[in-house]
Amino acid sequence: MSLSYDGGKSSTEAARIEGPTPGVTRYFKASSIPAHVRKALLRYELTGNNTVGIFSFRVDADYMDPIAALFVQPFTVTHRWRENGREMSKKTEITRLPFSYSIHADTDPEMVSVTYETASLQR
């Protein structure tokens, strides 16, 4: 497999699977992507003696905007749920991205809503 970042004018090898490989699944990740690239072409080259085939393949691309997370205006996320018939809620202030947090319930919760508020809307 080869990758091109200039519309196919040039390419670099991204991965290689050498056989025999019946029933083999592989995972590859391209990490040396030039700055400011927004488009890539992936090329599969198949060679063999009448025994080459791909049954299934998948390609994922994740784009990270280089300026998106430079500044995050804090905001609040409120989760509301029912637990054993009781109304429950958890409010969390998000101050940076990415951000993660946990919500623990004693029983299977019934989700009610998830809302967010920016600082300018909070009272």
Q: Please give the residue that has the higher pLDDT: either 37 or 89.
A: 89
The percent of residues in the chain predicted with pLDDT above 70, rounded, is 90
Q: In the predicted model, is pLDDT for residue 55 greater than 70?
A: yes
Q: Which are the contacts of 16, defined by CB distance < 8 A and separation ≥ 6?
A: 1
Identify the pLDDT of residue 57: 79
How does the average pLDDT of the chain come out, rounded? 84
pTM greater than the 0.85 cutoff = no
What is the per-residue burial (b if ≥16 Cβ within 10 Å, else e) of 112-121?
eeeeeeeeee
